[in-house]
Chains A and B, each alone.
Chain A
Amino acid sequence: MKRNGIGALVIVPLLSIIISFLIGCMIIAALGANPADAMRYLLKGSFGNMRNIGTTLSRATPLIFTTLCACFAYRCGVFNLGGEGQFIIGAIVACYIATKAPFTGFPAIVLCALAGAAGGGLWAAIAGVLKVWRGQNEMIITIMLNYVATLLMGVVYTNWLRDGSVPQTVAVPDETQLASFFGLRATVAFPVAVIAGIVLFYFLFYTSSGFQLRAVGLNMTAAKVNGFNVKRYLLMSFIVSGAIAGLGGALELLGTQLRLINGFAAGYGFDGVAMALIASLHPLAGIIVAIFFAALRVGSTTMQTATGVPTSVSDIIQALVIVFTVAGMAMVKLPEFKNWFARRARKEV
């Protein structure tokens, strides 16, 4: 039974991806393009050569951070939908330090990263405190804080740190920018993201705190009865998930975007939620899913230039994957489905 359970966690998303791509191909055909061509350009654009792979990994990096943010929070039963706001706050803090600090280079980078993580963690802590002590619905609070963070970033790039007449902040100084690999787009932020994923994986599945945190997420009452400090774990999951997103925001600013501008991080929070759910809240699977969807996005630009199919097809495919995966996961848990499966297994024996 246990093996069936794990099999479903892999088979359901894979099937969902195949079905979604088939529907995507139908849409592409309906738009008058050749689906096979489109798919070829999609692959070529995302993994065709080293340069494209670098671009894909660079696009994947912020998504990995927001995915990990969602994974960690949901493991503790906290529905943190505020990844985007926490990501933005991290970037704002990093932007201030990078452009205002009297020093540049490595110390500035480290300070930006730490302060960005702290900023994201504190921003998430607002929702955490309201959840733990006022029993409030964390989904609504974190989403409202997303809007506040986006508007605050607007103030920063239109007023406080505005670069002359253009509504954007001044760029991060050259010395404080993250180093990239072999002249590719991907920066050291990518390995940092992967390491963060591995650390989370280790913490969640191989430490006793991680076990207790997951226990709180699975059954809060049972955890309370067993004497776990539920409030502490809830608050911790808010702060740590916010810090992950904040770190991602800081590194995205220093590595890729270099300035705050309208549309910075738009949609990253919900993307992270989607990817975490597709990955069944597993941090390492989350990294793979994030790279996959980043590839889809990067490749869709090549596809648009070559075949004229709009890039938003990739958003539709991503949305379909989440719709099918979540429904599929629920379906395999249905008693009817389980019975049917058990009967089939018995027949084979």
Chain B
Amino acid sequence: MGSFIANLLLATVRMASPLIFLSLAELYSQRAGLVNIGIEGLAAIGSLTGFLISLITGNPLLGVLAGALAGILVNMIFAYATITLCAEQIVYGMAINIFAPALAAFTYRVYFGSGSELVQVELMGTMKSMFGIKSDNFFVNLFLDQTPMVYLAYILVIVTAIYFTRTKSGLNYKAVGEYPKAAATLGINVIGIKYLSCIICGALAGIGGAYLTTCYSKTYVDGNVAGRGFIALAAVIFGRWSSGGVLIACLFFGFCDALQIRLQLVNNTLPYQFFQMIPYVATVVVLAIIGAKKAGPRASGQPYRKEER
């Protein structure tokens, strides 16, 4: 039982990491007034790119970088359509959710041909293996048996919290999401910040996707993001649009994911699909419980037109 709980906690930290990247991506987007429901699609393209580049170069870190780049490129389509053309954000996010996974699936088919067996890629090493530590102590595992990406996720949470609450630039950024016209009269470049938010969002979503193929699973399969992009949306609402809240939400959803994997391993009487439902059902239940207290950025989802007076 002790090892069950220990493994569960270790898996929670691992499973929360991709969610943290994706949720922070959504947070940066919404703080600038852009609701991007295309995170799932961005993560899909990041995941495929990360997989391909780390396979070609043999370096998972390069894969993560390429994943970030791919996320930025695809999100620039969203940025142009929603910021410059003022397209409806929800509708365009959906378009990204259809476009990006199709692009990923197509690229995979073309690169590997159809019907070939699953190609495997070397995963990123953990700090423990890098330093050659042999100990199997729980705390050693918790703090050192993790890939560098896990540390990056938690560092980003802290950096984001400081940025949005302690820096002038962060407050300006938030002003764009709260009241863009007032922000513009103060000399803040509203359009510029919105585009910047899309770059950050695309990069983080791409990294979150690439995490899945460079740190979590050795293979790429279509649909491997498995709704994490949408759970990230829920995590931002659950976390009340604050960096710390998002971290707690991600740890909770990561825990649900870890729990379902561990339960599948110990129980073989119930069909395994019931355990796989846990993260999705938990998301619905959590959203139902917290209700709809409006706490998000006020101008979220609204187009910003410069000329409008």
A residues in contact (CB < 8 Å) with B: 31, 79, 81, 126, 130, 134-137, 139-141, 143-145, 147-148, 151-152, 154-155, 158-159, 270-271, 273-274, 277, 310, 312-313, 315-316, 318-320, 322-323, 326-327, 329-331, 333-335
Known: A81-B94, A145-B284. Is A323-B305 also a contact (CB below 8 A)? Answer: no
Closest to A136 in B: B287
Query: Once the chains bind, are A137 and B98 in contact (CB under 8 Å)?
Result: no
Q: Assuming the A-B contacts A151-B276, A312-B102, A334-B86, are A274 and B95 also in contact, with contact meaning beta carbons closer than 8 angstroms in the complex?
A: yes
Among residues 261 to 302 in chain B, which have CB atoms less than 8 Å away from a CB atom of chain A?
Answer: 271, 273-274, 276-277, 280-281, 283-284, 287-288, 291-292
**From residue 158 to 176 of chain B, which have CB atoms closer than 8 A to chain A?**
none
Q: Does B271 contact A148, Cβ atoms closer than 8 Å?
A: no
A interface, over-half SS? helix
Q: Which residues from chain A contact B140 at a C-beta distance below 8 Å?
A: none
B54 within 8 A of A: no
Mostly helix, strand, loop or mixed at chain B's interface? helix
In whole Å, how far is B30's beta carbon from the nearest beta carbon of chain A? 12
CB closest chain-B residue, reference A127: B284
A330 touches B284 (CB 8 A): no
| CB of B41 to closest CB in A, whole Å | 10
Q: Give CA–CA (A81, B96) in the complex, Å.
A: 14
Chain B residues with CB under 8 A of A79: 90
Q: Is A143 a contact of B227 with CB atoms below 8 Å?
A: yes
- Contact B87 A130, beta carbon cutoff 8 Å: no
A323, B288: Cβ atoms under 8 Å? no
Which of A141, A327, A334 has most B Cβ within 10 Å?
A: A327
Give the most central of B95, B277, B292: most A CB within 10 Å. B95
Are B91 and A147 touching (Cβ within 8 A)? no
User: Number of B residues whose C-beta is below 8 Å from A?
Assistant: 46
Interchain residue pairs with CB less than 8 A apart (5) = A31-B110, A137-B292, A140-B233, A316-B103, A323-B96
User: What residues on B are CB-neighbors of A137 within 8 Å?
Assistant: 233-234, 237, 287, 292
**In the assembled complex, which residues on chain B have CB atoms less than 8 Å from the CB atom of A323?**
77, 81, 95-96, 99
The answer, yes or no, to whether B230 is at the interface (CB within 8 Å) is yes
Query: Which residue of the partner chain, among A135, A144, A277, A318, contacts B94 with CB atoms under 8 Å?
Result: A277
Report which of A145, A148, A318, A331 forms a contact with B85, defined as CB distance below 8 A: A331
CA A319 to CA B98, docked complex, whole Å: 6
- Chain B residues proximal to chain A, CB less than 8 Å: 37, 77, 80-81, 85-88, 90-92, 94-99, 102-103, 105-106, 109-110, 114, 226-227, 230-231, 233-234, 237, 271, 273-274, 276-277, 280-281, 283-284, 287-288, 291-292, 305, 307
State the total of A-B contacts with C-beta under 8 angstroms. Answer: 136
* With A158-B271, A312-B109: A148-B287 Cβ-Cβ less than 8 Å: no
B287 x A140 contact (CB < 8 A): yes
A289 CB → nearest B CB, Å: 14
Q: How far is the CA of A158 from the CA of B106 in the complex (A)?
A: 29
Contacts of A334 in B (CB 8 A): 85-86
- Asked if A148 and B277 make an inter-chain contact with CB atoms under 8 angstroms apart, the answer reads yes
List chain B residues, Cβ under 8 A from A271.
98
* Given contact pairs A130-B284, A147-B277, A319-B98, A330 touches B291 in the complex (Cβ within 8 A): no
Closest Cβ neighbor of A322 among chain B residues? B95
Q: Are A144 and B281 in contact (CB under 8 A)?
A: yes
How near does chain B come to A279, taking the closest CB pair, in angstroms?
A: 13
Query: Are the C-beta atoms of B284 and A141 separated by less than 8 Å?
Result: yes
Residues of A within 8 A of B95 (CB): 274, 277, 319, 322-323, 326
Given contacts A273-B94, A316-B106, contact A322 B281 (CB under 8 A): no
CB contacts (< 8 Å) of B288 on chain A: these are 130, 134, 136
Q: Complex formed: what's the CA distance from A3 to B288 in Å?
A: 44
In the bound assembly, the distance between CA atoms of A145 and B85 in angstroms comes to 32
Neighbour of A141 across the interface among B81, B103, B287, CB < 8 A: B287
Q: Which of B86, B271, B287 contacts A333 (CB 8 A)?
A: B86
